Amino acid sequence: MLLIGLVLRLARAVVIPLLVTGFLAYLMDPLVTLLRRLRVPVTVAVSVAAVLYLAAFLVFGWVIYQSALDFAQALPRYQRGIVELVRELLLRIQNAANTLIGLQPLEELQKLPVSTILLTTLRSVASFLSDFVLIFIFTLLFLVGKYGLARKLLRAFPHQRAKRIALVLLRIDSDIRKYIGVKSLASLLVGTTSGVCLGLFGVDFAMLFGFLTFVLNFIPFIGSVIAVMLPLLVCLVQFGSWARTLWLLACLLVLQNTVAYLFEPKVLGIRLKVSVPIVFLSLFFWGWLWGAPGILLALPLTTTLKIIMEDIPGLKPIAKLLEKAPRRGN
């Protein structure tokens, strides 16, 4: 197992584009499926979906890019503001406790290489965009080939074995399609409403933070916390008002919890049936293995492994360990 993990980690340059390809394919799949139900040929359906999604990506991507550039220019100012807030907080604690608290954390905070971190992030984004054309082409090929997979299996394997493999693949496809579909809708809803809420409060870069909320919402539990904390820091530095920041916190929590109440049970409980501790462990494992893409896709990757192990007699006990415990009385 350790050897397999090491190989997968070393092969991240190949595996990560494939993961992104699969993710994009499942994002586009609902539109392709809708067109297929209208008797549109597969190639035409995929082409129409490709044009629509690519146009939306280019328009929205340009807006987010401009907002990110503005945020990058303002980042040193926010860093100084955060340093001053921490300094004030430490002085208040020092006065209340009548003890001397060192200001070394402030010195370390001031020394944070914000420009270097930002440059590294922008380089990573640029590297991804340079690979995006190839990834997008692979996505279209994946969608076109997906609908003929059953026939290929019947030609490649004996009937019984082909049927067994097809059933496993159908379960994986169904669970992941439902997960990404429901999660995308929930993320879009919470990202949009959070962006509107931030705009109403007058917080800078509301659209950028709405987009980050959309992306971070794909990370179970942890993503929502980060999505709330980042705009709160900006609000506090921008206005210097704890009351305004606390009101914003209350509004964001209401939005997050409302969407979670409506959608998350379907995503985490009914459909994928993976226990909460396993969700956390999968975040750490896939994050260690493949970084940010691994974290974003931790749950569907774990579900895929679980379904495969359920079909292998020797690995069924491990699959059972990954499952969410049944409710009492069921």
Closest by CA position to 278, among listed 314, 296, 302: 302
CA angle 161, 167, 168 (to 5 degrees): 95
Question: What pLDDT is recorded for position 290?
Answer: 81
Residue 274 scores a pLDDT above 80 = no
Q: What is the pLDDT of residues 52-95, one digit of tens each?
A: 998 988 888 888 878 877 887 787 787 777 777 777 766 766 66
Of residues 308 and 129, the one with the higher pLDDT is: 308
Q: What is the pLDDT of residues 201-229, one digit of tens each?
A: 999 999 999 999 998 888 877 888 889 99
158: confidence class by pLDDT, cuts 50, 70, 90:
confident
Residue 273 scores a pLDDT above 80 = no
185: confidence class by pLDDT, cuts 50, 70, 90:
confident
Q: What is the pLDDT of residues 114-136, one digit of tens each?
A: 555 555 666 666 666 667 778 88
Residue 237 scores a pLDDT above 80 = yes
Question: What pLDDT is recorded for position 270?
Answer: 46
Q: What is the DSSP string of 18-36?
A: HHHHHHHHHHHHHHHHHHH
R_g of the chain, CA atoms, integer Å: 23
CA distance linking residue 64 with residue 58, whole number of Å: 10
Give pTM, 2 decimals.
0.77
CA distance linking residue 190 with residue 256, whole number of Å: 6
CA angle 62, 13, 156 (to 5 degrees): 105
Closest by CA position to 220, among listed 135, 278, 174: 278
Q: What percent of the chain has pLDDT over 90?
A: 15
When pLDDT is averaged across residues 290-315 and rounded to a whole number, the result is 81
CA distance linking residue 85 with residue 321, whole number of Å: 46
Greatest alpha-carbon span in the chain = 80
157: confidence class by pLDDT, cuts 50, 70, 90:
confident
Question: What pLDDT is recorded for position 210?
Answer: 93
